[in-house]
Amino acid sequence: MSKKIIALVGGTGRLGNLIGKALLEKPDVELRVLVRPGSRDKIADLEQRGAHIVEGALADGPALATLCKGAYAVVSAVQGGPDVIIEGQRRLLHAARDAGVRRFIPSDYSIDLFEVKPGNITTSEMRRQFALIEEKERGDVEVVHVLCGGFLDRGVLFGFIRVIDVEKRTAYVWGDGKAPMAWTTYDDTARYTAEAAVDERSVPRKLAVAGSVVDFAQLVAEYEAGSGKKLTIERLGSIDDLSARIANAQQQNPQNLYAYLPLMYLRSLMSGEGTLETLMNDRYPAIRPTTVREYVAKEGL
């Protein structure tokens, strides 16, 4: 039986590399990875495990055609501005469509961005714009948006968004804390993405998966159970107060995206905006995703 060719773009990034590894674990998959000339060493681990490398960029039409030729699915894990997320992925989608690719997975991997109010998360606007484009221009390609909530990671939940400050042993809440928040590790997100890429069945346009879905109090309890440490709770204000803080940060330093972007994600998580409504973990029962409690214990947080 011939192997399924899966094409990957963004393999030099953290999540992209993990997706590549998850695909290479499948004996029936042949992995093809697009990489910029000069960056090949960044995916040496994938190449050593059997990935086929196509040198080029998202602006390189012939390279994209080579990447997509005969592929079953194309997976994007690229990061960047509108030139990458909108125009780059658009060119990639067109190449996939022209090559007769079955499935295209764009680089989303977040909360349900389609339910976020326009303007509430600056970087989600370009992903939503790409979604509008792909609806019109995908042809017969099945486009699947993998949604995983926030990343259950020391650099995200405990860093970038900082719901919990491990060093200060403090958890921060805006609003009433009752909104369910989904958290998924990078590893599990990669594994679910790999399963979706090779799936013989039709996959829903929004594939929502999560390791844990917890409200604020449950998140605190999961951390305390996993770490054996007690957290202090600090209530910072209402969701409206958080919105005011975001607006002030934008006004004070509009060019410093990271002064307000984490707060934007935090607002959408704690207000319930962008909540993953229907999880589809059961679609891939071989994956038992890591919970918050398990991650905290494993990482010694």
Residue 168 and residue 109 in one domain: no
Please count the structural domains in the chain: 2
When pLDDT is averaged across residues 147-155 and rounded to a whole number, the result is 97
Q: Is residue 291 part of a domain?
A: no
Q: Is residue 206 part of a domain?
A: yes
When pLDDT is averaged across residues 148-166 and rounded to a whole number, the result is 96
Q: Is residue 296 part of a domain?
A: no
Show Cβ contacts of residue 231 under 8 Å, excluding neighbours closer than 6 positions: 164, 169, 170, 171, 220, 223, 224
When pLDDT is averaged across residues 162-166 and rounded to a whole number, the result is 96
Residue 62 and residue 191 in one domain: yes
pLDDT class of 1 with cuts at 50, 70, 90: low
pLDDT tens for 24-36 read 999 999 999 999 9
Rounded to an integer, what distance in angstroms lies between the CA atom of residue 261 and that of residue 249? 10
pLDDT at 148: 98
Residue 115 and residue 52 in one domain: yes
When pLDDT is averaged across residues 64-72 and rounded to a whole number, the result is 98
Residue 84 and residue 200 in one domain: yes
Residue 9 and residue 90 in one domain: yes
pLDDT tens for 245-260 read 999 999 998 899 999 9
When pLDDT is averaged across residues 224-246 and rounded to a whole number, the result is 98
When pLDDT is averaged across residues 89-106 and rounded to a whole number, the result is 98
Rounded to an integer, what distance in angstroms lies between the CA atom of residue 266 and that of residue 243? 10
Say which residue the tokens 């403090």 belong to. Answer: 170
Residue 106 and residue 42 in one domain: yes
pLDDT tens for 180-206 read 999 999 999 999 999 999 999 999 999
pLDDT at 277: 87
Residue 71 and residue 173 in one domain: no
Domain membership of residue 134 as a residue range: 4-147+185-210+275-284
When pLDDT is averaged across residues 129-142 and rounded to a whole number, the result is 97
Q: Is residue 58 part of a domain?
A: yes
When pLDDT is averaged across residues 15-29 and rounded to a whole number, the result is 98
CATH number of the domain within which 126 lies:
3.40.50.720
Q: Is residue 14 part of a domain?
A: yes
pTM of the model: 0.97
Q: Is residue 294 part of a domain?
A: no
Residue 139 and residue 236 in one domain: no
Residue 163 and residue 76 in one domain: no
Q: Is residue 96 part of a domain?
A: yes
Residue 88 and residue 162 in one domain: no
Residue 92 and residue 229 in one domain: no
CB neighbourhood size of 223 (10 A): 27
Residue 256 and residue 280 in one domain: no
pLDDT at 2: 83
Q: Is residue 301 part of a domain?
A: no
Rounded to an integer, what distance in angstroms lies between the CA atom of residue 203 and that of residue 282? 13
Closest Cα to residue 145, out of 191, 174, 183, 103?
103
Burial (CB count within 10 angstroms: exposed 0-12, middle 13-18, buried 19+), residue 167: exposed
